[in-house]
Each structure stands twice: as structure tokens, then as C-alpha cells.
Structure 1
């Protein structure tokens, strides 16, 4: 037996209000008096009424959905950020649709097609780059895009990052001032702006104190590849006495190899600095010195930026780079 679907007109009749009043109550941001809203919600609860969000989107042209694209979640920074972004967007009356994407143009083409099919009102790309061609497609569709923890050479795209260059520089100066002489670097994925800027800042920081990079390996933002990079870097006769690793996720892998496989002491034999300051960095097993990404503010600025571009079609793109402080723990010697 089919169940009768409760309509907004039935809710309006029971609440003693107009059908348009019912619609306003269930439309985020619409103007309605508290008294009317209370009557409508009590009537809706009594009847078991729920508004048809998809039908409303066909009328208004707004889905109230934001597409959130991430490349990987094994880095502990992103699950935390994903939760914060979801909460922040939901507080603005939007629902979040999460898509996973690899760092390839073909994959991004497919993901973007799906996003636009869902009539999303905006897109946040976390740890993912976007080509100029894809950016033009979004612009043509009237869908604003904000890059989170990424930036690129495209003035039409808004972005929110920490100051990766300054963060890398702080790591270099800290290690040099702590007395380390053979300072190395383990890179992330070379296609990422975060990798590029952190390494550039690190090299500039070393140069500012008259030093050069002693050794370099690539971990590709991957836990196992970071272990391989650490084995190559520290299994030689003249090994580094300090290393800056492009993110905490790889830094944990490097620390495991240094201590557990090679029997070296941290920070006496090798000083270690990471980037992100994920919760595990403060755990007793690591106590990692790291550059802290201001995740809460980065998320809030991303949400604000996206809301501005959704409500103001002529809003210019913005690029925001936030200060990232160095947090000194016991994986490095304090100056």
C-alpha cells in the first residue's frame, strides 16, 4: 500500500498560515518571524512533513550543494580539514558532496563533469590542482571555485593556503640555529604548489645563514615512499644530521626508519622537522617539531570566500596566505 506524501499545503492548513510561509520556513536565509516558524515546524513534525530539497532546487536554480574534491585522505591533515569544511559549509545552509580525485587531468575532467551534473553551487578543491581549461568551464557554468591548501599560476582562481615559503624558511633557520650542519630535505609531490613553495623557502632560509642543502630525496607525500627515501638518505657513510620533511605524514615514516631501523637517536643524531602539525605530531611517540597550518582559520576563510563568490557574481578572485608558526618539540634541539 502506497504511503500518502504530506504536502506543504497540508502543513500550511494545520499551522494556519499561507503555503508561501511554509516555504520560507524551510528555505535557508529566508525572512520569517519566530512565531510563524514555530507554528510551521510544529505542524510539520506532527504530520511528518519534510521539504523536497531537489524540487526546490529546480525552482530556485540553487542546489545548496558544494562539491568538495580531495586527492587523498591518508594524510592526517585532510580528514580533520574535511570535517571542518563540512561543518562550516553546513552552518551556511549548504550540503557537501565529496569526490575523490587523482592528480591527473583525465581524472579531474571526469570529476568536474560529475560535479557540474549535480548542479553544485560552488567547488572547493583540497590538495587538487585545476587546469585553466577546467577553470574556464566552471566560470562559464557560473560555478565559483576556491583552492584549499593549493595555489597555482591562474589569476582567475581564488585560493587559501598557509605561507608555505615562510614556513619552509622558518624550518631551515631553526635547524641551523640549533647547531645542525648537514641539513637535508625530503620533498613531496613535485606537482604541488605546497611542495614547491616549502622547498623554495627552506633553501632560501639555509642560504640566509650561509648554508646549502646537504641532501635531497623525494617521498611524493606517500608514507611508504617516504620510508624508502629515508633509507637512502641515512644509510650512507656521511649522512645528514637534520632533515626537513614536506609534511607530517611523511615525517612520521622517516622518524620510524631513523629510530627503529637504523638505530639513530632523535634529536641527538638527527633533528627532524615536519609541516602541518596534525594531532599525532604532539603524541609522545613523535613529539615532532613542525610548522603549524592554521587549519581553523584556513577553513573559515575558504568558506567566507566561497560564500562571497556565490552571492556576488562580480566578486574578484582572492589569494590568501596565512602565517604558519613553528612549533618546537623534542624531535629537534632547541637553539
Structure 2
């Protein structure tokens, strides 16, 4: 005969407390005395009790679930950021559902429609954009959305990211100060706000010094496409003497092509700079000069903004661009007098 399912009533009876006290103990953020908590914990352990999350969501109207959408995980930045986001949300009592989507708007719309079916309390879009139609649908469903490392020209959407424009401009200033004359750019996916902002900032820095891009190729944030871009750009006379690659992930593959296929020295023949400062950027094999995205701060701001929108649906949207510092290593020639 099957054993009867243990309920919160059973736990309350064994612990000698009220059922509401048991409910409060298992509700993140609720207040319960240390003595009561100990009684409930021991009774639940003895009986093998676990709360029914789905049943509670029907009562409270909260699923305690957050939908996390990511378009790709090849870039080292995103697995680390997603781990930090998941940990931070779990510490607040939320469960994270991760959904993969391609960069195409139609696919992302399909994924978001599926997420809404799960009755999530909020959505974080990482490395993915949101159509105006789905934005309207999320708002109608009372489900707040926060963009992580992306932004859109929609003041009603909260977006958390780095100051990509200022960071890329600092790279341009650095390369110009180092005496480079033929400065090029290998761009990422042009549908991404990160790419558009980084290129805009880089061009601004060049223009301020009376310069233009010497050459430009498209890498699409994809390893093989970045390799091909490097081959086209450098396997010819009059090659660039410096290149800004739109993210570190592509920059590693570009450096490999330059050094191991084309026999060029980095930085003696060509300086290479990137953006993100993912862990391999500090490896001696690359020692990449780059701009740092402060993942911890981005996660803190994202979780804080999302929880505020969940608790206060009428809260104003925020667009936060965090300072992104220049990290100088050995992949690029340094300006004269630059401190090591």
C-alpha cells in the first residue's frame, strides 16, 4: 500500500506549531523565530517533508520562477554571467529556467511565448533582443523583462549593460596614442546593440583624432567567421597595424590566425585588442588588452532591477550602462611612457 503523502499539517503537528508557521518557514523572505524554525526544520527532516511549490504558486499567484533567455553560450562571458545570475536569483528564493534561442527575432518570439506559458514571475534576456509585440504581450501578462548586456530603443524596457561606447572609445585612444596608423575593426553580429555601440565608440575615438577605420570585416561573433575575416584582412599587402575585435572570444581566434597561419608577431607586427575581459584573456598564451565587463556588478543591477519590477509593477524602467575599464596586457603596443 502506498504511503500517505506528508503534508504541512503533519509537520505542524509534530513540531507543535501552527500550519501558518510551517508555511512561513518555507516561504523565502518570511519572518519566523529561530526557535520555531528549528522545530519545523527537525519535524520536516523526520517526516521527509518538502513543500509543494506548484500548489503554493496557485495560492500566492507567484511561481518563484524566472525565465532566462540566452542566444548563444560560445562566448566565455555568458556561461560565467549566467552562473552568477542563477546563483543570485536562487539566493532570493527564485528558481531559474534557462531557454536557448537563436538570434532571429521569430525564434526568440517563439521561445518567449513558451516561457510565458510557465507563468514565470519575470524574464531576463541575455544576448537576445525582444520584439515590440512580445514586449507588449509581457507587459499585458504582468511579467517584467530585463535586458542583460543588451539595450533597445524602448524607454519602457529596463536594460543593464556596460558602457560599450566609452569602453571602445578608450581602445581607440589607446591605439592612436601608441602610434598606430592603419587601425582596423573586426565587427560582431550587426543586429546586436553591443556591436553597434562598440563600433560607434571606436569610430568616435578615431574621428576625434582625425582618423577613419583603415579596414573593416564582419566576424558575426562566430569563431570560423572571425578566422575568415582575419585572413581576408591580413593576408594581403598594406595590412593593418592594429585591429579592434568586437569581443574577446573572436579575438582569440584572430590572434591564432595571425600568429600560426600568417606568421605575424603580436604585437610587433600588429596590435590586437578585444572587449569583455573573459578569463582566457589573462592567459599568457593571449595576454589580451581588452575592456572589462564587470559581470558581478551587471548581475547585481539586473537582479535588483528585476525584483523591484516584480514587487512594484509600476516602477520606472532603468537603462544602466556601467563603467567598463581598459585592461592593458601584452597583445597591443603600449604608448610611450605608459606605466606597465
Q: Same fold (TM over 0.5)?
A: yes
Instruction: Please give the alpha-carbon distance, in whole angstroms, between the structure 1 residues aligned to 2:34 and 2:5.
Output: 26
State whether residues 144 and 306 of structure 2, in contact with CA within 8 Å, keep that contact through their aligned partners in structure 1.
yes
Q: What secondary structure does 1:115 align onto?
A: helix
Rounded to whole Å, the distance in 2 between the matches of 1:268 and 1:109 is 47
Unpaired runs of 5+ in structure 1?
none
Alignment partners' CA distance in 1, 2:69 and 2:199: 25
Aligned to 2:292: 292
| Corresponding position of 1:64 | 64
Offset from partner CA, 1:162-191 (integer Å, 9 cap, x none): 000001101111011111110000000000
Q: CA deviation at 1:226?
A: 0.2
User: How many Å separate the matches in 1 of 2:166 and 2:105?
Assistant: 30
Q: After superposition, what is the alpha-carbon deviation per residue over 1:28-49, rounded to whole angstroms, capped at 9, x for unaligned?
A: 1112111111100110001110
In the TM superposition, 1:314-333 aligns within 5 A as 314-333=314-333
Instruction: Indicate yes or no: 2:185 matched with 1:185.
Output: yes
Determine the structure 1 residue equivalent to 2:90: 90
Give the drift of 1:105.
Answer: 2.2
Q: Does 1:134 align with 2:134?
A: yes
Please list the CA deviations of residues 220-269 of structure 1 after superposition, one character each: whole Å capped at 9, or x if unmatched: 00011000000000011110000000000000010000000000000010
Q: CA RMSD in A?
A: 0.7
The answer as to 2:236 corresponding to 1:242 is no
Alignment of 1:118-133 (within 5 A): 118-133=118-133
Cα offsets for 1:60-95 (capped at 9, x unmatched) = 110000000000001000000000000111111111
User: What is the CA–CA distance in structure 1 between the aligned matches of 2:147 and 2:251, rounded to whole Å?
Assistant: 25
The residue correspondences of 1:155-166 to structure 2 (distance < 5 A) are 155-166=155-166
CA distance in 1, matches of 2:89, 2:19: 28
Displacement of 1:305 after TM fit? 0.3
Aligned length: 335
Secondary structure of 1:286's counterpart equals coil
Distance in structure 1 (CA, Å) of the matches to 2:262 and 2:89 = 46
Who is 1:35 aligned against?
35
CA offsets 1:200-234 (integer angstroms, 9 cap, x no match): 00001011112111000000000110000000000
Q: Distance in 2 between matches of 1:219 and 1:131?
A: 24
Q: Distance in 2 between matches of 1:18 and 1:152?
A: 49
Distance 1:7 1:280 in 2: 50
- Larger displacement relative to structure 2 (98-107 or 143-152): 98-107
Aligned residue for 1:173, secondary structure, equals helix
Quote the Cα distance in structure 1 between the aligned partners of 2:83 and 2:180: 38
For the 8 Å contact 2:248–2:275, the answer to whether it is kept is: yes
Using the size of structure 1 for normalisation, the TM-score is: 0.99
User: Which residue in 2 is equivalent to 1:16?
Assistant: 16
Provide TM-score, normalisation by structure 2: 0.98
Distance apart, 1:25 and its partner CA: 0.5
Secondary structure at the aligned position of 2:159 is classed as strand
* Equivalence for 2:274: 274
Whether the aligned pair in 1 keeps the contact of 2:109 and 2:130 (CA below 8 Å) is no
For the residue of structure 2 that corresponds to 1:30, the secondary structure is coil
Residue number in structure 1 paired with 2:309:
309
- Match of residue 195 from structure 1: 195
Q: Judge which range, 176-185 or 104-113, deviates more.
A: 104-113
Partner of 2:228: 228
Alignment partner of 2:211: what SS? coil
What is the CA-CA distance between 1:106 and the residue it aligns to?
1.9
